[in-house]
Structure 1
């Protein structure tokens, strides 16, 4: 049974592996030097400043989600585990913590865009990502209010 739990420093190698393997298929358009800098920044900059959760399946860490407030800074899952609702499990954790969520995704990242659209994110802004020159989409998820028939009095 998959579980989502808080990140521990012992998870670093698995988190980096998930990022690297998923990024290869989601971001083939990014330059190698930019990717190398991101890999250095994950343990040095991003993880220390984010609320990070990992997902375990088959008794191993196979993905993670990093939150900065209600911003999804990163969500990556080993390719072999994609399509098994583990990304949704991590996003559900983020949504339970923060309600409304925002995220930026590269326009060319069709894997990520499809995932966010399926989860219910909507486009709020389109801009250029200065470090890469690539177009990024800022998306927002707003939970639906319960319908009167869904509530108990």
Structure 2
């Protein structure tokens, strides 16, 4: 049975299962990252999984297929196993987060056009851009907001 549920027990086994999803998804979609970049980011992902206030997973027969992490009103992480991409799992996770956690924002790597299109399809629009990511690396970030909450004075790309 497919379902979305909160992950409250973030033990080592769960963290490694989610890290596997993150690694495989990043290799499939973040083509600008090197293996060295991925290895350097992995400990930060494990830390984020442990600390994010709201961590939700999409499961099928108790197997994790995707997950979303939300802090305040912002999606901080969304990753789906590439083997099941295109089946609506990411859309269901984001929709659930919008409806239950009042999500309004997400940051997306500018070099990941698939993610930009995905979020635009769900109603997000770019309102700002940063030259570097949170780690200070030269990976430009697009800041997006749910368009129904965009005011007339918001800077748009």
CA contact 2:105–2:144 (8 Å) conserved in 1? yes
| Number of the residue aligned with 1:150 | none
Stretches of structure 2 that go unaligned for 5 or more consecutive residues are 150-157
SS in 1 for 2:131: strand
CA contact 1:126–1:137 (8 Å) conserved in 2? yes
Over the aligned positions, Cα root-mean-square deviation in angstroms equals 1.8
Return the TM-score normalized by structure 2. Answer: 0.82
Bigger-Rg structure (1/2)? 1
1:140 to 138, 145, 148: 145
The list of structure 1 runs, each at least 4 consecutive aligned residues, that deviate by more than 4 angstroms after superposition, is none
SS in 2 for 1:88: helix
Q: Distance in 2 between matches of 1:98 and 1:62?
A: 21
Aligned residues, how many?
Answer: 143
1:26 to 26, 29, 42: 29
Q: Distance in 2 between matches of 1:138 and 1:67?
A: 15
Return the TM-score normalized by structure 1. Answer: 0.84
Q: Distance in 1 between matches of 2:66 and 2:3?
A: 11
SS in 2 for 1:134: coil
